[in-house]
């Protein structure tokens, strides 16, 4: 038995990402592939350079499509089960980079249906409130309104239901049980839901690229089994690791453990107090010992967050690493540096979120981007 587990809904234990590649049947992002992406994009995003995005399916074919000028489109999503935390922003920030570099269309799915079905005690009204709140946070990431369409499942379903049925008809219950671990006590809504998460990969007759954390990959496995028989491409995907929770390098930052997460709605005081109280430290128990023996950046959550998201400058990151390891930089100083970064990031985010109230319609309007490819099948 593995001592960790990753499903689309939960992650626990210290995750061995190489083992996950073998388990899920994906591929490691190789130095050669990074070089190709860098050439195509004109630069390499730090999350790629630092192997935070570490695994893929068919990313080489996406680069081929780009080189042949056939283009591709992007698809990602969010399940509105509550306010968003910083972990949710990480794949979105990377998606924005891809859209900026490759100028492609992007579809963002808001799965109000999924979260209603999966969460015990979740009221429909709550999923609707959080859908709206989450869409504002997503827009604040800075996507191009001319190339982005954000849709909520319960609203958009009328446009895609026939295509969803075509996918459902090709997917047996035993496949869904094997891929998602559904049992006889899983509600029947949830066994149908995966067909909806697959639909957007068919929104254009081009290759689709999905950036997300690796937990969403099981859906793409089913998509890749049936896509060609429905006349579409197998989807490509790029998978990230998880932003760890404040409490340490186990599991993922998750909505269900409030103390482990920094919410996008946390104010400067809350951020400071959470980091000081909860951020797991790789430092020694006394200043004297720390100065003498140094800290361990590999398990220090504040350093890891800097590496993943908050310190894009390689030289500055290296300095944090080396000074921490040598004992020159104390845990409290690492925490203070991170707190400062998060708070300036969140302040800018909040301002952009307010502006999003004015522009939301540009992203959610069923306009030019909403394709109706399914009509071809019926
Ligand atoms: P959800 O709302 O659980 O997560 C939204 C996105 O955030 C990623 N994620 C994380 N990334 C880094 N660190 C973390 N701690 C962390 N926690 C979550 C998820 O991988 C996801 O990319 N069913 C989906 C919604 C969805 C979707 C999609 C996601 C529909 N279509 C296509 C990705 C791509 C969900 O509930 O995501």
Residues of the chain with pLDDT under 50: 372-378
Distance CA 170, CA 231 (A): 13
pLDDT of 376 reads 46
Instruction: Assess whether the C-beta atom of 235 lies below 6 angstroms from ligand 1.
Output: no
CA separation for the pair 354, 357 (Å, rounded): 6
pLDDT at 375: 45
The pLDDT assigned to 198 comes to: 98
Q: What percent of the chain has pLDDT over 90?
A: 92
Q: How many angstroms separate the CA atoms of 240 and 114, rounded?
A: 22
Domain ranges of the chain: 21-246, 258-352
**pTM, entire model:** 0.96
Q: What distance in angstroms lies between residue 243's CA and the mean position of ligand 1's atoms?
A: 12
160 touches ligand 1 (CB under 6 Å): no
Q: Atom 32 (ligand 1): residue with closest C-alpha?
A: 76
Contacts of 371 (CB under 8 A, 6+ apart): 203, 204
Question: Which of 55, 79, 156, 208 to mutate for ligand 1's pocket (most ligand atoms within 8 Å of CB)?
Answer: 79
Does ligand 1 have an atom closer than 6 angstroms to the CB of 274?
A: no
Q: Of 149, 53, 163, 158, nearest to 110 (Cα)? A: 149
Nearest protein CA to atom 5 of ligand 1, as residue: 78
Alpha carbon of 214 to ligand 1 centroid (Å): 9
Helix, strand or coil for residue 140?
Answer: coil
Number of the ligand 1 atom closest to the C-alpha atom of 84: 2
Nearest CA owner, ligand 1 atom 7: 88
Domain 21-246 sits in CATH at: 3.40.50.620
In short, whether 252's Cβ falls inside 6 Å of ligand 1 is yes
DSSP labels for 152-164?
Answer: EHHHHHHHHHHHH
Q: What confidence tens digit (pLDDT) does each residue in 158-169 have?
A: 889 999 999 999
Q: What's the per-residue H, E or C state across 222-239?
A: HHHHHCHHHCCCCCEEEE
CATH value of 258-352 in 3.60.10.10, 3.30.350.10, 1.10.240.10, 1.10.1040.10? 1.10.240.10
| Per-residue pLDDT at 371 | 54
Q: What's the pLDDT tens digit per position in 222-243? A: 999 999 999 999 999 999 999 9
User: Which strand (E) or helix (H) includes residue 220?
Assistant: helix 217-226
- Report whether residue 78 contacts ligand 1, using a CB cutoff of 6 Å: yes
- 21-246 shares its CATH topology with 258-352: no
Q: Assess whether the C-beta atom of 197 lies below 6 angstroms from ligand 1.
A: yes
**Ligand 1 proximity of 90 Cβ (cutoff 6 Å):** yes
Burial of 37 (0-12, 13-18, 19+ CB in 10 A): buried
91 lines ligand 1 (CB under 6 A): yes
Cα 352-353-356 angle, rounded to 5 deg: 90
Can you give the pLDDT at residue 378? 36
Distance 270 CA to ligand 1 centre (A): 24
pLDDT, one tens digit per residue, over 14-38 is 999 999 999 999 999 999 999 999 9
Instruction: Choose among 91, 78, 33: nearest CA to 57.
Output: 33
Q: Is the CB of 116 under 6 A from ligand 1?
A: no
């Amino acid at each position: 038995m593995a001592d960790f587990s990753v499903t689309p809904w939960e992650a626990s234990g210290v995750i061995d990402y190489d083992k996950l590649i073998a388990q899920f049947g994906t591929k490691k992002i190789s130095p050669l592939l990074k070089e190709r992406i860098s050439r195509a994009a004109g630069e390499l995003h730090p999350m790629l350079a630092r192997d935070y995005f570490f695994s893929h399916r068919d990313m080489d074919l996406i680069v081929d499509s780009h080189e042949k000028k056939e283009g591709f489109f992007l698809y990602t999503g969010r399940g509105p089960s509550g306010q968003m935390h910083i972990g949710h922003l990480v794949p979105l920030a990377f998606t924005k980079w891809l859209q900026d570099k490759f100028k492609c269309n992007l579809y963002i799915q808001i799965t109000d249906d999924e979260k209603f079905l999966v969460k015990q005690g979740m009221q429909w009204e709550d999923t609707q409130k959080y859908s709206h709140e989450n869409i504002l946070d997503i827009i604040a990431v800075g996507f191009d309104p001319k190339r982005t369409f954000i849709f909520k499942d319960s609203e958009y379903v009328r446009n895609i239901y026939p295509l969803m049925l075509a996918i459902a008809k090709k997917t047996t219950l035993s496949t869904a049980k094997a891929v998602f671990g559904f049992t006889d006590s899983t509600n029947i809504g949830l066994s149908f839901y995966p067909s909806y998460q697959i639909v957007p990969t068919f929104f254009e007759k081009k290759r689709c690229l999905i950036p997300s954390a690796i937990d969403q990959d099981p859906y793409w496995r089913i998509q890749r089994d049936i896509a060609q028989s429905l006349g579409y491409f197998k989807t490509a995907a790029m998978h990230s690791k998880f932003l760890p929770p404040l409490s340490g390098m186990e599991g993922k930052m998750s909505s269900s453990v409030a103390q482990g997460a920094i919410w996008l709605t946390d104010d400067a005081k809350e951020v400071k107090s959470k980091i000081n109280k909860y951020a797991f430290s790789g430092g020694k128990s006394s200043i004297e010992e720390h100065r003498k023996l140094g800290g361990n950046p590999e398990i220090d959550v504040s350093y890891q967050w800097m590496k993943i998201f908050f310190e894009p400058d390689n030289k500055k990151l290296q300095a944090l690493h080396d000074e921490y390891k040598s004992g020159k930089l104390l845990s409290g100083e690492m925490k203070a540096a991170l707190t400062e970064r998060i708070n300036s990031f969140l302040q800018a985010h909040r301002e952009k979120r307010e502006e999003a109230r004015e522009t939301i319609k540009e992203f959610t309007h069923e306009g030019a981007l909403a394709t109706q490819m399914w009509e071809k099948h019926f």
